Amino acid sequence: MDGTYGLISLIPVAVVIIVAIWTKRCLGALLCGTFAAAIILYKGSWWSEWFSHILGEIGGSAGYIIMFGFFGALIRLLDESGAALGFADIGSRLANTKKKSLIFTWILGIIIFVEDYLNALGVGVAMKSLTDKNKISREYLSFVVNSTGAAVCVLVPFSTWGVLYTSQIEETGLISGMSSIAAYAHAIPFMLYSIIAVIVTFLFITGVIPLFGPMKKAELRVQETGRVFPDWKYEGEQADELENKVEACSAWNFIIPMLVLIAVAVPTGDITLAVIIATLVCGIMLVAQKIITIGQMMDGIVNGFKDMLYVTMLVLVAFCLATLNDELGLTPFVIDSVAPIMSPKLLPVIAFIVVAALSFATGSFWGVAAISFPIILPLAQALDVNLFLAIGTIAAATSFGSHACFYSDAVTVTCAATGIKNIDYAKTAIPLIMVPFVLAIAAYLVVGIIMG
Question: Which of the four pLDDT bands, split at 50, 70 and 90, describes residue 302?
Answer: very high
Q: For residue 42, what pLDDT is reported?
A: 92
CA distance 398 to 378: 19
pLDDT score of 4 more than 70:
no
Contact between 141 and 230 under an 8 Å Cβ cutoff? The reply is no
Across the chain, mean pLDDT equals 86
Q: Dump pLDDT digits (tens) for 58-72.
A: 877 777 788 888 888
pLDDT score of 308 more than 70:
yes
CA distance 140 to 163: 30
Which runs of consecutive H residues, i.e. helices, occur in 61-159? Answer: 62-80, 83-94, 98-111, 116-133, 138-147, 150-153
Question: What DSSP string runs through 165-212?
Answer: HHHHHHHHT---SS-HHHHHHHHGGG-HHHHHHHHHHHHHHHTSS---
Out of 156-165, 211-220, 283-292, 327-336, least confident range:
156-165
pLDDT score of 193 more than 50:
yes
Q: How many CB atoms sit inside 10 A of residue 1's CB?
A: 12
Q: What is the mean pLDDT of residues 167-193?
A: 86
- Please indicate whether residue 235 or residue 329 has the higher confidence score (pLDDT): 329
Contact between 53 and 33 under an 8 Å Cβ cutoff? The reply is no
Highest mean pLDDT: which of 150-159, 295-304, 367-376? 295-304
Q: For residue 2, what pLDDT is reported?
A: 46
CA distance 228 to 203: 22
- Whole-model pTM over 0.85: no
Out of 72-86, 178-192, 210-224, least confident range:
72-86
pLDDT score of 324 more than 50:
yes
Q: Dump pLDDT digits (tens) for 396-434.
A: 999 999 899 988 888 988 998 898 999 999 999 999 999
Q: What is the mean pLDDT of residues 205-215?
A: 96
Question: Which of the four pLDDT bands, split at 50, 70 and 90, describes residue 219?
Answer: very high
**Among 116, 121, 119, CA closest to 150:** 116
Q: For residue 1, what pLDDT is reported?
A: 41
Out of 79-88, 197-206, 217-226, least confident range:
79-88
Q: For residue 158, what pLDDT is reported?
A: 74
Dihedral, CA of residue 265, residue 270, residue 272 and residue 273, to nearest 10: -80
